[in-house]
Amino acid sequence: MFKRLFASKQRPYFKTPFRQDTLSSDLSGTRFEISLPPQDYAFAEKPCQPKVNLFDKSLYDYETEPDRNGHPPHNRGVMTECVFKRNWFTYGPIWRASHIGSLQCVGVVCDTSQMVAGLNCFNPEQFEKLILHSLYYSKGPGFGNENTSPVNWKIRQIQGADWAYLESWSRKPAWIESTDRYRDANFSVSMYAPLFEDKYLILSFVGIGSLPAEASNRALFSRIESIIPSLKIELSPSALKQKADAEKKFPDAHYSQSREPEPWKYYTSFREGDVLKGEDELVIEGPCSPPPSLL
C-alpha cells in the first residue's frame, strides 16, 4: 500500500501480489515450469497449456516463402499458440488511475526439423547459430524495426539447465528525424533453452516503459530478475538421450560466454507501394544484411 502511495514516474509501481502462480506445461514429456505474479492487465489472461504435443506439425507456422528482403525460406516453425502469456501494468502517481507502462512474459516453442540438416539444439555452437538466426527475424533486418541486439549476452545456468540470455533495445533509424525518447524505455529480454534436438523454447519479456527511462527500466528489470530464478526444465527420457548423444558426438562444443551486438545493416527507408503495378502495400527499401549463416 505504501509503495502505491509513493509511486511516481521516478518510482514506477507494480501491484504487489499476495501470491505467486506456478505455471507448468508437459511439452511432449519435457516439463517446463515458471513462477510469476498474477496478471494485471486490461484483458483476460490466456490459460497456460498444460500439455502440448510438440511433434504435431499443425501447431507451427513454417516459413516456406522468401522473406521480406527476398532471401530464401528457412523453414523454421514457430508455434502459432504460445505455451503461456502473462502481462502486468506499471503505475505512476496515485492520482493517475491509468497505467504508465507494461511488461509481458510469453513462452513459445520453435521447430527446426525442416531447417538445415544436422543442426542440433543440444550442440551449443549449433544452437547459438539458431539463436542468432531467430534473432535476425525477430529483432533484426528480417523483422524491420531497428534494434541493438544481442546486448548483455550471457549463458545462465538455472536449476540445472543452460539458458542463453540476451537483450534487444529499440533504436532510431538514421533516416528518421524523430527524437522519441521513449525508445530508451522499450526493450525485450529473450531467453533460449533446448527441449529436444530439433525443438527449443523462447521465453520473452517485452517492456514498454515510461519516462524517465532509467527509472522505468530499473522497475521492469527488477520484476524480470525476480521471475528468472523460478525457471525449470526437466528433460524427458528421450530428450536426455538426445542430449547425451550430442555431448558424446560434439565433446568440444561450447557457447560463447559473451557476444557483441550484431553489425546488421537495416533498410534505409520505406514507402507506400503501387498495388496497381503489383507492389506490396508497403515497400521496404534497402539493402539489408542477409540472414546469419546456419552452416
How far is the C-alpha of 203 from the C-alpha of 114, rounded, in Å? 22
Average pLDDT of the segment spanning 77-93:
94
Structurally, at CATH architecture level, domain 2-265 sits in 3-Layer(aba) Sandwich (3.40)
Confidence at 11, pLDDT banded by 50, 70, 90: confident
Tens of pLDDT, residue by residue over 180-207, are: 777 899 999 999 999 999 999 999 999 9
The three cell numbers of residue 85 are 502469456
- Cβ pair 37, 21 in contact under 8 A: yes
Return the pLDDT at 143: 81
77-79 and 51-52 as β-strands: parallel, antiparallel, unpaired?
Answer: unpaired
Residue 155's nearest CA partner among 229, 34, 254, 291 is: 254
Tens of pLDDT, residue by residue over 224-255, are: 999 999 999 999 999 999 999 999 999 999 99
Higher-confidence position of 285 and 42: 42
Residue 185's nearest CA partner among 153, 150, 166, 210 is: 210
Return the pLDDT at 286: 73
Tell me the one-letter amino acid at 90.
T
What count of other Cβ atoms lies within 10 Å of the Cβ of residue 175?
A: 11
Average pLDDT of the segment spanning 138-159:
92
Q: Where are the domains of the chain?
A: 2-265
**pTM score:** 0.92
User: Which residues have C-beta within 8 Å of that of residue 44, sequence separation ≥ 6?
Assistant: none
pLDDT at 1 over 70: no
What count of other Cβ atoms lies within 10 Å of the Cβ of residue 121?
A: 25
What count of other Cβ atoms lies within 10 Å of the Cβ of residue 70?
A: 10
